[in-house]
Amino acid sequence: MDFRKGQPAIDLSGKWSFAYSEGNETRPFASAAELESAGYKTYPCSVPGNLELDLHANGIVGDPFYGMNIAHLARFEKSHVWYATRFKGADRPGFDAELVFHGLDCFADIYLNGKLIGGTDNMLIEHIFDVNNLLKEDNELLVHIRPAVEEAKKFDYPPYVAALGDFAEALYVRKAPHMYGWDIMPRAVSAGIWRPAEIRFRPKERLESAFLETANIAPDHSSAFMRLHYVTKISDGPDDIYEVEVEGVCGDSKFSSRKPTGVIGGRIQISLSNPKLWWPRGRGEQNLYDVTVRLYKNGKQIDSLTFTHGIKKVELSRTSLTDQYGNGEFCFKINGEKLFVLGTNWVPADAYHSRDVERIPQILDMVEDIGCNMIRCWGGNVYENDLFFEICDRKGILIWQDFAMACRIPPQDLDHQRVIEREARAVVRRLRQHACLALWAGDNEIDAALAGNEHRDPNKNVLTRKVLPAVLSDEDWTIPYIPSSPYIDEEAFEAGWEFVPENHPWGPRDYYKGDYYKNVVCHFASEIGYHGCPSPESIRKFISPEKVWPYKNNDEWTLHCTDPVPGVNNFGYRVELMEKQVRELFGVVPDNLDDYSLASQVSQAEAKKFFVEMFRTGKWRKTGLIWWNIMDGWPQFSDAVVGYYFDKKLAYDYIKRSQRPLLIALREPQSWRQDVVACNDTRNDMEMEFTLRDIDSGEVLLQGNTTAKADAVTPLGSIPFSNSKQRFIQIEWTDSLGRATNHYLAGYPPFDLNTYKGWLKKSQG
């Protein structure tokens, strides 16, 4: 969170130049002139940016996302890259000058006016350099980025460690894990200044940091108790008096306090009557207090920090295990109230992260529109831009934040522990003030990787059991923490972790109503998904004309499916998977792209609708799901419900209807009958009038007026079911939110695609 908006700074974003080597380079260049005299050609570029995008903009390579192009960019992985710019701006009396890179990828040497001022080794955090007495009226900044794959060779690789896809070069290097190749992302081991850079000026006597915690909220919400933790940098003259004041305003609710401060910092305790609480969307208002912290010297203000604060408390009720009878728990509580979670996983907004910020607002608008109240920021990604969290604060979308470790067996040595500790501390300090934050998670699926094929106890992972808890104990104890997702603690490891209460039930990915999915025992699914083909219009944007169809033995489909390194990985199985899922539902695979795309989208839409409704109709035995996933980060065939070019698949509309605050849905049949229920996720009882009918015959199967109980599942009746009868049941109802529709696909596959097209047309008519 940016606490110093409006303070003096020199924006270094915009026009730069760059040069690159075709191979290794050992000469230390300290200026752009030295580069040019050594024979390097420079090209124009922009910051923020990425090397591959700069190469494309200068006509050196084709569009990385088109055809097989991204596979050919591996030759630049060993390139050294230099970025240079000139700017005006000298030192300012009374201020400390700092050069700040908000995102620099990754191993870099920084030269200011020909002098080496420092280096970086982590893409995922900001880097700050003291440049006092180094600035001139006219300045040159040169950034030399060394190739990450070459730097990775400097580490030792004991047999304990392992990486997804055998990309061991990812294990020690702190880049976004997906960049080395994933089943949802291409291999793009990039380089660049991928977030803004600036020279900022801070008062020499100042507030270094401030963190406002909500320590307690009364059970009846009538009062709140908060603490401001702050750190100062002051000269502390013998006759000087320093004071710190905190003030917060949200509408007609206000708090303030002022007190003398010590040399280093201190605390201010705040009691507030009738606080305006922050709630997730659908549960109340997203009240945010505008908070200002001021530092005074002898009665005169000399510095201030501003931020927003949402008064809320988050709890996670969790057991080590559950069973088929539901004797367990994994449930979020916000301000003392249980919350049923409807969420989506957040993967990279773009494979080239310099473009993330321009895509984030539109993606988050869709997250809100589709009815989600939580996003899980997956551990294979970067830590998102401040804008992402600010929007989620305002929209009331809770954030489950993984630390950036996923699907690997990470190093455990002391040096790597220090790297992770430094990264985590920087990330927590940047994000902890955001009201939307609901959970810190140590990693993605590393517990499962250790306990599964490795047959090793994940509770010996020192990174998630020692390093991260110690950081959070210091920096943010207000938000729950789990070491991994799924989390396999000592009891679960001993008993068998298939009964953990929070899991990723991907299963065989066969028929979505198969025994595996219908019998999922976890209370909370933090990943679950199903494949869906993009539209033909979207496919033609990233697949060469001669490769658009057919899909079999098609290297471009395989690459975009995603097989990040052709001939090395086997992630391209998703081409076959998509075909099998179509055949499972319709019995045959269409012989043309239009029908194939539709059939695949139907199978995905029906599957994800089923998953959402299976969990919702099981409330509170089920407590939430975070389906995979809202948006692609590059053009591909995937589980996302929105393609990279913002084309919505059929699943988007199906999920949106299934995630409405009040939903009528059918439970799966038992003994020739199907129960019809109303799932109400609001705090209030809701009057409703409903009708279920066969869309072909028009026969009314059930209708009535009733009250859907608050935060509960209310039985509405039952209808007959026959295993041999396929039909499309249209569900319509009216409540205080307006008119709504849903449907249920009755019977068993194979269904006829043309018949389904007719049902789809009638239901949308």
Pick one of 3.40.50.720, 3.30.70.1150, 2.60.40.10, 2.60.120.10 as the CATH number of 662-764: 2.60.40.10
Please report the DSSP string for 627-670 in residue order: EB-S--SSS-SBS-SB-TTSPBPHHHHHHHHHTSSEEEEEPPPB
Return contacts of 587-595, CB within 8 angstroms, 24+ apart: 587/749, 587/750, 587/751, 588/750, 588/753, 590/753, 592/549, 593/536, 593/539, 593/548, 593/549, 594/536, 595/753
For helices 650-658 and 593-616, the axis angle rounded to 10 degrees is 20
- Distance (Å, rounded) from C-alpha 706 to C-alpha 212? 45
DSSP label at residue 170: G
How far from the centroid of its chain's Cα atoms is residue 261's Cα?
A: 39
Distance between first and last Cα of the chain? 47
Note the pLDDT tens digit of each residue in 328-369.
Answer: 999 999 999 999 999 999 999 999 999 999 999 999 999 999
For tokens 């700074």, name the residue: 9
For the chain, list residues with pLDDT below 50. Answer: none
Fold of 9-202: Jelly Rolls (2.60.120)
β-strand partners of 374: 343, 398
β-strand partners of 732: 691, 741
- Cβ within 8 Å of residue 62, ≥6 positions away: 56, 69
For helices 753-764 and 593-616, the axis angle rounded to 10 degrees is 60
- Distance (Å, rounded) from C-alpha 266 to C-alpha 301? 18
- Is the torsion defined by CA of 467, 468, 470, 471 positive or negative? positive
DSSP label at residue 430: H
- Distance (Å, rounded) from C-alpha 68 to C-alpha 74? 12
Residue 417's pLDDT is: 98
Considering only CA atoms, give the Rg of the chain: 28
**Residue ranges, CATH 2.60.120.260, the chain:** 9-202
Structure tokens at 736: 């205080």
- Distance (Å, rounded) from C-alpha 434 to C-alpha 126? 18
Burial of 406 by CB count in 10 Å (0-12 exposed, 13-18 middle, 19+ buried)? Answer: buried
- CATH annotation of 205-309: 2.60.40.10
Residue 454's pLDDT is: 83
Rounded to the nearest 10°, the torsion over CA 408, 409, 414, 415 is: -30
Residue 2's pLDDT is: 58
Burial of 623 by CB count in 10 Å (0-12 exposed, 13-18 middle, 19+ buried)? Answer: buried
- Distance (Å, rounded) from C-alpha 517 to C-alpha 183? 22
Residue 585's H or E segment, with its range, is: helix 573-586
Residue 77's pLDDT is: 95
Structure tokens at 660: 């409405």
**Residue ranges, CATH 2.60.40.10, the chain:** 205-309, 662-764
- Distance (Å, rounded) from C-alpha 622 to C-alpha 522? 8
Residue 752's pLDDT is: 97
Residue 1's pLDDT is: 61
DSSP label at residue 74: G
Residue 289's H or E segment, with its range, is: strand 289-297
Is the Cβ–Cβ distance between 355 and 519 less than 8 Å? Answer: no
- Distance (Å, rounded) from C-alpha 548 to C-alpha 635? 13
Residue 546's pLDDT is: 97
Angle, CA of 390, 396 and 400, to the nearest 5°: 80
Note the pLDDT tens digit of each residue in 283-323.
Answer: 999 999 999 999 999 999 999 999 999 999 999 999 999 99
Nearest to 248 by CA among 219, 268, 220: 268
- Distance (Å, rounded) from C-alpha 616 to C-alpha 742? 14
β-strand partners of 230: 210, 266
Please report, as a single letter, which amino acid is at residue 381: N
For tokens 């004991």, name the residue: 158
